[in-house]
Amino acid sequence: MNYNETLDYLYSQAPEYQRIGHAAYKEGLDNSLALDEIFGHPHKKFKNIHVGGTNGKGSVSNLLAAILQMSGYRVGLYTSPHLIDFRERIRVNGEMINKEYVIEFVEKYRDKFEPVMASFFELTMEMAFLYFAEKKVDVAIIEVGLGGRLDSTNIIFPDLSIITNIGLDHMNYLGNTLTKIAAEKAGIIKKYTPVIIGEIGNSDVAQVFIDKAKSVEAPIVFSEVYMSDFVADRLRDKIFYKSANFDNITGQLSGPAQEYNARTVLTAVDILLELGYNIPKDAVYKGFEKVTEITGLMGRWQLLKTEPKIFCDIAHNSHGIKYVIERLLSEEFKRLHIVFGMANDKDTESVLRLLPKNANYYFTKASVQRALDETKLADMAGEFGLQGYICPTVSEAVIKAIKNADKEDIIFIGGSSFIVADALPMFI
């Protein structure tokens, strides 16, 4: 098989939750543990840092990977979903896993892993662990896929666990209240292992984490309390951060809520130093300033074009969209154009009620099974006073928005990582 045929095999043999939703979701750790046994527990051959939470996991994971790489570590980075190429999920020092390795993994091990009937995520996670072990990484940043307690990644034994925040998402799997979701996310807290909570949220959510940490004797740090002197100043398309140990860190990621992610990462740097990691100050500055070049991160308030300005962001739930809209409305523009689509298993109404009414909308559908029908989305949006065009594909929506926009306008592309994934190849 060539690379594309191998990916087709993986998608058909082990359907991907990101593409088709519930039918591909497999709850529990049995498959992950079985695969790990087959491959000889490769995750035990390097240090791990585990990153969970509702939003910001990807940004925090990439920032930490960039900082550790600039500190001289050989760093593995496992994230999801990918936007353009599957190989984005598995990187070593910013370089994507090579196509030949993906092909060889399937050809060499399919007889062993097929009987397990693993999900796409379970199988590709084990591919990442094996790749990291063979590449002799010093440390791997492992992003949780969905939830925490029963997520495939929860077989690792990290040096540090991080939970960025708690919002309402994946409620059909994790529960319909913040405390229920927090309990699932808290499942990555391990015995004696320090855990950082990026955003407290509310006292009930905080108590969930406190109780879980206490039950396994894990030191717990709330970033908002620990780094109370943290300051974030926005200036044009940059954010500058200050804390007790750092002055004027330039944040390349200037999107919504990045100040929360930055505070979480700086807290993690302090804890990792206490754990014996060697992280020079200049590595922190470089990691923040050049994260996209170092790790290849995309889709976080990414500027795709300047005249008119075109931004994209993968925020896909009310917790994340709220910050995106605040950021969008802080920009100067004559007219606002929004290319918008969602997955069919999200709380669409809670997102639609956050969107600005004085914008031209281009309701569309991404090229995955989970995508919400564009006509249905437009009908729902109309109930919230949102009006616009109906476009069957993302490319049609983007082209129409560009045609309608003046140089002084802004076009925003988002609502789902799948919408961004379909749009990015038009600009890159």
Sign of CA dihedral 251, 350, 149, 153: negative
Tell me the three state secondary structure of residue 230: coil
Residues 40, 98, 305: CA angle, nearest 5 degrees: 130
Residues 14, 16, 21: CA angle, nearest 5 degrees: 125
Strand order in the sheet with 388-391: 302-306, 309-313, 410-414, 336-340, 360-364, 388-391
Q: How many CB atoms lie within 10 A of CB 299?
A: 23
- Write down all domains in the chain, each with its CATH number in brackets: 3-295 (3.40.1190.10), 302-426 (3.90.190.20)
pLDDT band at 169 (very low <50, low <70, confident <90, very high): low
**Taking the C-alpha atoms of 12, 17, 23 and 24 in order, what is their torsion angle to the nearest 10 degrees?**
60
Sign of CA dihedral 300, 304, 305, 308: negative
Sign of CA dihedral 250, 317, 362, 419: positive
Residue 25's pLDDT is: 47
The DSSP 8-state label assigned to residue 291 in this structure reads H
Q: Is the pLDDT of residue 170 over 60?
A: no
pLDDT in tens, 66-115: 999 999 999 999 999 999 999 999 999 999 999 999 999 999 999 999 99
Scan for tokens 């098989």, then name that residue.
1
Average pLDDT in the 364-381 region? Answer: 95
C-alpha 91/C-alpha 132 separation (Å) is 9
Q: Is the pLDDT of residue 23 over 60?
A: no
Instruction: Fill in the amino acid letter for 120.
Output: F
Residue 168's pLDDT is: 65
pLDDT in tens, 197-225: 999 888 899 999 999 999 999 999 999 99
Q: Is the pLDDT of residue 19 over 50?
A: no
C-alpha 66/C-alpha 420 separation (Å) is 23
pLDDT in tens, 31-63: 999 999 999 999 999 999 999 998 899 999 999
